[in-house]
Amino acid sequence: MAERTVLITGGTRGIGRALALRLAADGIDLVLGYAHDEGAASQTQAEVEALGVRCATVRADLSTETGVDELFDRALAAVPRLDGVVSNAGGTFHIGPLVDTPVDVIQRVLDLNLRAAILVARRAVGALPEGGVLVNVSSGAATTGSPGEYVHYAAAKAGVDALTKGLAIEAAAHGVRVVGVAPGTTETDVHADAGDPGRPARVASRHPMGRVAHPEEIAEVIAFALSPAASYVAGTTIRATGGA
Ligand code: NAD
Per-residue pLDDT at 2 exceeds 50: no
Give me the domains of the chain, ranges plus CATH numbers: 5-240 (3.40.50.720)
State the pLDDT at residue 183: 98
**Ligand 1 pocket residue status of 237, Cβ below 6 Å:** no
Residue 29 near residue 104 (C-beta atoms within 8 A): no
Helix (H) or strand (E) holding 6: strand 5-8
**Ligand 1 pocket residue status of 10, Cβ below 6 Å:** yes
CA distances to 83, 150, 153 from 29, rounded to whole Å, are 10, 35, 31
Distance CA 208, CA 201 (A): 14
Question: Rounded to two decimals, what is the model's pTM?
Answer: 0.98
Per-residue pLDDT at 74 exceeds 50: yes
Residue 86 near residue 7 (C-beta atoms within 8 A): yes
Give the tens place of pLDDT for each residue, 8-56.
Answer: 999 999 999 999 999 999 999 999 999 999 999 999 999 999 999 999 9
Ligand 1 pocket test, candidate residues 186, 187, 202, most atoms within 8 A of CB? 186
CA distances to 26, 45, 54, 93 from 51, rounded to whole Å, are 9, 10, 9, 33
Q: Among 34, 150, 153, 232, which one carries the catalytic annotation? A: 153
Banded model confidence at residue 129, pLDDT cuts 50, 70, 90: very high
Give me ligand 1 centre to Cα 88, in Å: 6
Give the tens place of pLDDT for each residue, 131-154.
Answer: 999 999 999 999 999 999 999 999
Banded model confidence at residue 1, pLDDT cuts 50, 70, 90: very low
Q: What is the mean pLDDT of residues 203-229?
A: 96
Q: At 58, phi and psi to the nearest 5? A: -135, 120
Banded model confidence at residue 116, pLDDT cuts 50, 70, 90: very high
